Amino acid sequence: MKICIYEARADELKDFENIGKALGLELKLHKEIPSLETAGLAAGCDGAAMLGQGKIDSPLLDAWKAMGLKAIATRTVGYDHMDIQHAKDIGLMVCNSDYPPTGVAEYTVMMMLLVLRNYKPALWRGQVNDFSLAGLQGREINNLTIGVIGTGRIGFSVIKALSGFGGKLLAYDPHPNDKVRQYAEYVEFDELIARSDVITLHLHLTPQTRHMINRDVIAKMKDGIVLINCSRGELMDMDALIEGIESKKIGGLGLDTVEGETGIIHADHRTDILKNKDYAYLKQFPNVVMTPHMAFYTDVAVTGMVQSSLEGIKSMIETGNFRTRLV
């Protein structure tokens, strides 16, 4: 079985070699992002695997289908970059990845601590031997109410990690998970928004969840609210975040994912002018920690991404099934 790998990074190569060999697959590795222009790289392949930088839209899916591809896998958990309905309509099987959620969960806790303990301005000061304390006083998770929106695998893992800190944990999810109840209290969305000191999002991006954190919702939050987003940037309305930071309604932001980050993240732009003015503006604030969509990026997760994508394509083609098959 021959599989075309898009967006192959140097750090994935060993896993592709080892896991591809163990599964008896022939892999064609490419750095290119999938698009209509690069669709031809998959000619002669049975399947393709990609990350999240390309739009897997209907023209691209049609092109792959016409070339004879049977299954595709995104090496990501999120699949908002894929038109899975169209894939279903044309009979192309799709799965996503289910690498362990602990890496993103630990990163989420780190983002909370970085913001709550004013680590960004402390780091800036340290670079110029300014070791003063004024303005750096922080808050303890132990004394705060943390609201977790979305209690799937990652949300649950965040709740479990936070449970050791001793703060009050609130959770919201339209589909509650009984395992969560031993650590957190499920409440309605509006109650979580009103009672939390820190809110973190762990949701898929869909038309329903896009801009779920907007001007109206932020207005109902506590003054000085800290917002954390290690899921998808578009869950939060960028204009509303900027307004909230400018007015100080928002006390701090920990954003690993930012609306409009595509084309910026995972690349060196040292000599470029950032075209996304909002991104460039927001990242200057001392109480805004922005990182380039790297919460996922651990040794275990990268291996899991490679493993589940290759296993998924092989299994879907051979049996029609895989544990994370989407359509």
* Listed ranges 12-20, 25-33, 70-78, 84-92: which one lies at the site for ligand COI (CB under 6 A): 70-78
Min separation Cβ 290 and ligand COI, Å: 15
Instruction: Identify which of residues 231 and 315 has a Cβ nearer to ligand COI in the complex.
Output: 231
Contact flag: residue 296 with ligand COI (CB under 6 A): yes
- Is 232 an annotated catalytic residue? yes
What lies within 8 Å, CB to CB, of 88 at 6+ separation is: 94, 327
Min separation Cβ 272 and ligand COI, Å: 21
Min separation Cβ 78 and ligand COI, Å: 3
Interacting residues with ligand COI between 71 and 110 (CB under 6 A): 76-78
Contact flag: residue 172 with ligand COI (CB under 6 A): no
Instruction: Identify which of residues 125 and 293 has a Cβ nearer to ligand COI in the complex.
Output: 293
Instruction: Identify which of residues 78 and 286 has a Cβ nearer to ligand COI in the complex.
Output: 78
Element (H, E) at 217: helix 215-219
Instruction: Identify which of residues 150 and 167 has a Cβ nearer to ligand COI in the complex.
Output: 150
Contact flag: residue 309 with ligand COI (CB under 6 A): no
Element (H, E) at 50: strand 47-50
Q: Report phi then psi at 322, rounded to 5.
A: -165, 150
Element (H, E) at 18: helix 13-22
71: left (phi over 0), alpha (psi -120 to 50) or beta: beta
Q: Please report, for residues 218, 288, 292, 295, the alpha-carbon distance to residue 138 in angstroms, rounded to integers and kept in the order given.
A: 22, 14, 24, 23
3-state SS, 51-117, equals CCCCCECHHHHHHHHHHCCCEEEECCCCCCCECHHHHHHHCCEEECCCCCCHHHHHHHHHHHHHHHC
Min separation Cβ 291 and ligand COI, Å: 12
> Which residues are registered as beta bridge partners of 71?
47, 93
CA 30, 31, 34, 37 torsion-angle sign? negative
Contact flag: residue 155 with ligand COI (CB under 6 A): no
Min separation Cβ 305 and ligand COI, Å: 7
What is residue 288's three-state secondary structure?
Answer: strand
Question: What is the pairing mode between strands 71-74 and 198-201?
Answer: unpaired
Q: Out of 232, 234, 259, 311, which one is annotated catalytic? A: 232
Min separation Cβ 212 and ligand COI, Å: 17
Among 34, 52, 150, 312, binds ligand COI (CB under 6 A): 52
Instruction: Identify which of residues 118 and 307 has a Cβ nearer to ligand COI in the complex.
Output: 307
Q: How many residues bind ligand COI (CB under 6 A)?
A: 7
- Is 293 an annotated catalytic residue? yes
Instruction: Identify which of residues 52 and 167 has a Cβ nearer to ligand COI in the complex.
Output: 52
Min separation Cβ 44 and ligand COI, Å: 27
- Is 261 an annotated catalytic residue? yes
Instruction: Identify which of residues 82 and 170 has a Cβ nearer to ligand COI in the complex.
Output: 82
Contact 95, 325 (CB under 8 A): yes
Q: What is the CA radius of gyration of the chain?
A: 21
Among 49, 51, 122, 146, binds ligand COI (CB under 6 A): 51
* Residues classed as catalytic: 232, 261, 293
Binding site for ligand COI (CB under 6 A): 51-52, 76-78, 293, 296
